Structure 1
């Protein structure tokens, strides 16, 4: 079980922790509804220890990644960034990645649970290229600052995915304009040993510590897919809402032919949709049924605070994905109603 750089620190300040697919993360800090309000209306402070940083170094790092990742890495200048995917040749999702270009390296922010598969997939394709994928020179912790007041708390106003080295309360950080829930937010890269001090400094400025319960609820409401839950090697890139991570103008990249064919055809056979749950809460992975036939499956199930009800993301076949369509979810001895709803749910 992986513990984050902040694990012992929030625990000492009232966080209730739980295993999140192999990573111990704060579920809440005593009042998940209040934490949700901070995500929507203020500034919410999130332990992003479920993500990590890989450094791409070497003179061929840009050209190599341009041929591997789904977005236009070659167009980035130092201080700029973009979202991207690493796909298989069949167009299926290995990992999502936030790319940040610097003068001497490219920083790749990936889910820690997908890191090994991500690096191994890239390294298998290195032939004569001068590029390596290595950890940061010193341990780095990622801290999220989500909500409309996030930028004010650190005094930065950045373009999407742009990044800059600054100091917050005399603590050196790299601040990246990015969000786990598709809203206004920042990701702060900080030396692992300074993460508790950064946490305290942001709380002193008005940030509200926020656990995964509120974060996942908001993520489901807005329909942001997470690798390992809503995206994996069974999922085509075009089946999930990741348009910002797919360049339509760059040259070839791994899986690009499948993406181009699907785009030209104009549709896929299934897609990730939002669902409002009515009845006993089913688990992720439960089937979605219409007229006695399986037509999809749930991927993420969470409490949607904006709806005051449970909600889910799930894959549904295109003939059943119209908002308002009612599906059944058999699980255990129960059957729950799941109603397709337009995103965002709240």
Structure 2
């Protein structure tokens, strides 16, 4: 098997590629993706005709991505930050106006339920979410208010999300005097976080991603900027090893498996739901699964999709979470595999209909020995004789 990116032609657009979080085909009219539709939010375009060229523009920071289907909530009131801090994995009680953060809402067993991008403007805390998550999280948060001075509101019909890796000439909304510009903390390990990857140069160093909230009435103004589809953003995200709630997470996921402690978990903050599992796995155990980047053989002209099976020999060891054709690396994918899988082992992905087998080489993101950071000394057994 050849895993050299040069063995595939990244300039080719023959590989079948879909965004698992979006099923609407790309419209021919690029402006359609930026059309203002208050209260009726559709799926943004996957591409505008040339996904690889759009990747280059996006990587250079000259293009923007229509993410106007994403959900936007606000939490207002004097207790908003301490309340969110008590419920989720990141220390945000002292988040300053204009600062960005990422936090996770876990279930009592430590499994990941929501990944929330946070931005505070001094009056409201803005919660940026996947398209399908706003209503359910809104309902749950309302139930958790008790006697606290907080109010939760869904602002998705008023504000649209625009993604970029640069500094577009597009002014974010600022309803309370602070620009609503969220900057992704994935580019470095945050205070209180921890990175399991041992890569000498983490690919997140080139990940300058951010999201702007704009008034939906301003979407036509965004349409005047160079545009990239969601496929372009997915390819660059995968190459940066950046996990996403809509693709990398299933009903069993804990943050350690995706190396998500580096940006969204504070390991020494106060109690929150699921903290016991986070601490126990990090200090004493190992995550049962691990995220890997797969370099795929592109000779068959097919990309796997979310849920396709990963094999080691004839044994199922994991599944694809997201895949894309990268403009430099060729066909790549993120997959979650069993911790016990040998990192040096070449794998096979079963994809397509009829099914074909795609050779895949691993690039380690979360190593098999991740966790057990406490290095607790082993105590002698009772009755054992010291020599």
Query: What TM-score comes out, normalization by structure 2 length?
Result: 0.72
Distance in 1 (alpha carbons) for counterparts of 2:80 and 2:128 = 15
Distance in 1 (alpha carbons) for counterparts of 2:321 and 2:341 = 17
Contact kept in structure 2, 1:86 and 1:118, CA below 8 Å: no
Tell me, what secondary structure is at the counterpart of 2:96? coil
Indicate whether 1:281 and 2:303 are aligned: yes
Alignment equivalent of 1:316, drawn from 319, 328, 337: 337
Alignment equivalent of 1:186, drawn from 198, 202, 210: 210
Contact kept in structure 2, 1:165 and 1:175, CA below 8 Å: no
Shift of 1:328: 2.1
Tell me, what secondary structure is at the counterpart of 2:360? strand
Where in structure 1 are there 5+ consecutive unaligned residues? 1-6, 157-162, 167-171
Q: Which has the higher strand share?
A: 1
What pairs with 1:85-234 in structure 2 (closer than 5 Å)?
A: 85-136=104-155, 139-146=158-165, 150-151=166-167, 153-154=168-169, 165=174, 174-178=180-184, 183-200=207-224, 203=225, 208-234=226-252
What pairs with 1:37-56 in structure 2 (closer than 5 Å)?
A: 37-56=56-75
Deviations 1:194-214 (A, max 9, x none): 1212442xx2xxxx3100121
Distance in 1 (alpha carbons) for counterparts of 2:289 and 2:143 = 31
Aligned length: 310
Contact kept in structure 2, 1:173 and 1:190, CA below 8 Å: no
Alignment equivalent of 2:88, drawn from 69, 73, 80: 69
Indicate whether 1:327 and 2:347 are aligned: yes
Contact kept in structure 2, 1:16 and 1:27, CA below 8 Å: no
* Residue in 1 that maps onto 2:361: 339
Shift of 1:136: 2.9
Deviations 1:61-85 (A, max 9, x none): 2222111111111021222221111
Distance in 1 (alpha carbons) for counterparts of 2:85 and 2:319 = 34
Contact kept in structure 2, 1:176 and 1:188, CA below 8 Å: yes
Deviations 1:126-156 (A, max 9, x none): 332232210239701111222xxx23x4499
Contact kept in structure 2, 1:138 and 1:191, CA below 8 Å: no
Shift of 1:251: 0.5
Contact kept in structure 2, 1:15 and 1:30, CA below 8 Å: no
Distance in 1 (alpha carbons) for counterparts of 2:249 and 2:296 = 21
Tell me, what secondary structure is at the counterpart of 2:251? coil
Q: Which moved more, 1:125-134 or 1:311-320?
A: 125-134
RMSD over aligned Cα atoms: 3.1
The structure number with the bigger radius of gyration is 2
Shift of 1:267: 2.4
Shift of 1:266: 5.1
Shift of 1:41: 2.4
Query: What TM-score comes out, normalization by structure 1 length?
Result: 0.80
* Residue in 2 that maps onto 1:160: none
Tell me, what secondary structure is at the counterpart of 1:216? helix
* Residue in 2 that maps onto 1:159: none
Contact kept in structure 2, 1:16 and 1:26, CA below 8 Å: yes
User: RCO (CA 8 Å, sep 6+): is it higher in 1 or 2?
Assistant: 2
Shift of 1:26: 1.0
Indicate whether 1:241 and 2:259 are aligned: yes
Contact kept in structure 2, 1:301 and 1:311, CA below 8 Å: yes
